Amino acid sequence: MKQTEPIVVKLAETKLDEDGAKKLAEHYAAQEWLNRARQLQPNDSEFLIELAGRSCYRSFGVGLNPNITKVRDNPKDYLTNVLEKGDGSILEHATVTFAFLNVSRIFTHEIVRHRAGTAMSQESLRFVRPREISLWLPPDLASTSREVVEVVGEIEKQYHYLENHFDWDKMNFEQKKRVTSALRRILPDGIATNLIWTANHRTIRWVIEMRTHPSAEVEIRKVFGKVAEICIKDYPLLYGDFTGAKLSDGTSQYTPKFSKV
Ligand SMILES: Cc1cc2nc3c(=O)[nH]c(=O)nc-3n(C[C@H](O)[C@H](O)[C@H](O)COP(=O)(O)OP(=O)(O)OC[C@H]3O[C@@H](n4cnc5c(N)ncnc54)[C@H](O)[C@@H]3O)c2cc1C
């Protein structure tokens, strides 16, 4: 058995197509706004969200929509107002992709409950036959870690005992897949796995709030604490209303000023 730590890697994020933005600005006669606004806002995700929001009211400047007599010029004021009003649907235009590595199947079972605005690809225990059991030890088991290692080591031994009842070299891939899938039933929920998770910013804000709450499970809180740190740093206008508070187990709760936009 190998002890592991959950790891969060940011893999990808939304990128603005500058030519497309120019064409859109031409369509709205908003070239002046585009030139000025892009200088103020180099962050692609935040800029795309602002662009989508402004296109709803043609609020790229005064005069484009006769009903508008003033506009918020500053991206911070604009996006803060969006969060305050709860106009969160425009946050769905930009996404982030994370790799959650060495997380348990307890974590993955919980994260799949968040359906709206997400995409997931999980390492398959039908196709991948584990050589060993990797596992993260939650703080509540720290005082009994030796015993946990022993128990998991025994499961690993018994897994290989059952595995050795099959002649893998004589099996085709389909047969291997079926037996690997059958055998996984004796593996513990805590076995480390890997998940690629993409979500839009409206969803990420909600999942951070829900899953860093003290009543959430410690592993998902630990992972989403890291997600919160990344998002607050990389998208300051979309996550600037979150505040972090350390909890006694070393994880942090992140609470937004504007909940569930
Ligand atoms: C601390 C904690 C304890 C939990 N305990 C349990 C438990 O014991 N048992 C259990 O089964 N689950 C449990 N859950 C999971 C929980 O019930 C939710 O399924 C999970 O948090 C997903 O959140 P969500 O419903 O907001 O869905 P998300 O998919 O994150 O959706 C976000 C929002 O979109 C809207 N939405 C999404 N889908 C629909 C829809 N089909 N129809 C209408 N509106 C929709 C809702 O407003 C929803 O809040 C727990 C969650 C937490 C955080």
Distance in angstroms (rounded) separating the CA atoms of residues 104 and 101: 9
Task: Extract the tokens encoding 199.
Answer: 């979500």
**Amino acid 67: pLDDT:** 85
With helix as H, strand as E and coil as C, how does 123-186 read? CCCCCCCCCCCEECCCHHHHHHHHHHHHHHHHHHHHHHHHHCCCCHHHCCHHHHHHHHHHHHHH
69: DSSP letter: S
- Please report the pLDDT score of residue 68 as a whole number: 83
Residue with tokens 């593996």: 187
Average pLDDT (84-98) is 97
Residue 130, number of CB atoms within 10 A of its CB: 19
Distance CA 238, CA 161 (A): 52
Identify the residue whose C-alpha is closest to ligand 1 atom 23.
Answer: 114
Q: Residues 116-144: what's their mean pLDDT? A: 96
- pLDDT, mean over the chain: 96
Q: Residues 93, 49: contact at Cβ < 8 Å?
A: yes
pLDDT of residue 41: 96
Q: Which atom of ligand 1 is nearest to the CA of 118?
A: 29
235-251: average pLDDT:
97
Band of residue 43 on the pLDDT scale cut at 50, 70, 90: very high
| pTM listed for this prediction | 0.96
Distance CA 14, CA 142 (A): 40
pLDDT at residue 225 tops 90: yes
* Cα dist from 208 to 53, 64, 114, 243, 244, whole Å: 23, 38, 11, 11, 11
Residue 99: pLDDT band (50, 70, 90) is very high
Whose Cα sits closest to atom 1 in ligand 1? 216
**Ligand 1 centre and the CA of 33: distance in Å?**
40
Residue 232 scores a pLDDT above 90: yes
Of 212, 131, 216, 125, residue with least CA distance to 177:
125
pLDDT tens digits, 49-62: 999 999 999 999 88
pLDDT for 219 = 98
**Of 115, 202, 220, 260, best ligand 1 pocket probe by most atoms within 8 Å of the beta carbon:** 115
Is a pLDDT exceeding 90 seen at residue 69?
no
What pLDDT was estimated at residue 34? Answer: 95
d(CA 122, ligand 1 centre) in Å: 20
- Based on C-alpha coordinates, what's the Rg of the chain? 24
pLDDT band at 250 (very low <50, low <70, confident <90, very high): very high
Confidence at residue 70, expressed as pLDDT on a 0 to 100 scale: 86
The answer for 247, left when phi > 0, alpha when psi is -120 to 50, beta otherwise, is beta
Mean predicted confidence (pLDDT) in 127-151: 96
Provide mean pLDDT across the span 173-190: 97
Say which residue the tokens 């006769």 belong to: 66
Task: Determine the distance separating the centroid of ligand 1 and the alpha carbon of 115, expressed in angstroms.
Answer: 8
b/e for 67-105, b at 16 or more Cβ within 10 A?
A: eeeebeeebeebbbebbeeeebebbbbbbbbbbbbbbbb
Ligand 1 pocket list (CB less than 6 A): 113-116, 206, 210-211, 213, 215-216
- 85 pLDDT tier (thresholds 50, 70, 90): very high
Token pair of 53, please? 């929001």
The model's confidence at residue 249, banded by pLDDT at 50, 70 and 90, is: very high
